[in-house]
Amino acid sequence: MSIKEHPPLHVPVLLNDVLAQLQPQSGENYLDLTAGYGGHARAILERTANYADSCLVDRDEYAHGHLGDIASKGATLMRDDFVSAAKQLVRNGQQFSLILLDLGVSSPQLDNAERGFSFTKSGPLDMRMDRRNDMTARDLVNTLRRDDIVKLLMEYGEEPKRVAQRYATAIVNARPLNTTEELAEAIKHAHVGKWQKTHPATRTFQAFRIAINDEIRQVSEVMPLVPKLLKKGGRVAIISFHSLEDRVVKRYLQEQERAGYEAQLHLVTKKAIAGDTNDVHNPRSRSAKLRVAVKP
């Protein structure tokens, strides 16, 4: 599927809450470290009207194919992972009034079978957010030792040890696995007991996706860079979708709260703002958590 054919429709998660918490003002500049298809960015930049001093970052070539309208108004686009981009912006001495991090995989990525993120659509076992990377999920699925798969499923899929062992054995016995459907079927056949809403392969796909895209390390490394990228009084909003990444964000922000006068960030949201569990139009928002902080 070409970039132009890729579905442009994307419902930004927790948009009203992000706007209410960040309170974008006219003239403020904006950094979107995970721009995706620009849903949050368009809403925020409509309020700030400062495109020239704003920057949108994403490592996904498909996302960049749908950000041209924002770039045409003067915003800078960077195709890179958010840690590399953040480091470059820090080196450049750039600071922003508003920063957004919308973590995880986007709905259009899930909807495109060729990307290999979803077990509901048969496609190649890819899962790369940046296709310039050589390693795919297929490489890991077919080459990792059983014990390494067990560790991966426990650490990134948060599966219990016995479940991880059973699924890892099923993966090894079913190899070679080349498609998302084949991996999902291997897990489904290894599953014990009934399941209703949540497919047994959900956490397995999450685990391989996190590993391929180095997601947890990325979040851990970007958090200390955020204060350096914020102007005094600047606000940052971070949306996470599973406990692993949210734990990293929460821990860092809590450490900042305990730092007292030396704190580089102060929490605005003492408790995370949760997504709408009844949102039938955007199921991804059900697991979302929004945390917001300000630079004193």
**Binding-site annotation, residues for S-adenosyl-L-methionine:** 38-40, 58, 82, 102, 109
47 three-state secondary structure: helix
Closest listed residue to residue 160, CA positions, set 104, 215, 217, 203: 203
Q: Which residues pair with 94 in a beta bridge?
A: none
Question: Half-sphere exposure of residue 180, counting CA atoms within 13 Å on the CB side?
Answer: 23
Cα 3 to chain centroid, rounded: 20
List the binding residues.
Answer: 38-40, 58, 82, 102, 109
Cα–Cα distance, 204 to 208 (Å, whole number) = 6
Angle of helix 243-258 relative to helix 215-222, nearest 10 degrees, comes to 20
112 three-state secondary structure: coil
Q: What are 247's two structure tokens?
A: 């734990």
Cα 32 to chain centroid, rounded: 12
Q: Which residues pair with 267 in a beta bridge?
A: 293
Cα–Cα distance, 142 to 136 (Å, whole number) = 10
- C-alpha distances in angstroms, 179 versus 21, 104, 125, 136, 289? 41, 21, 5, 12, 31
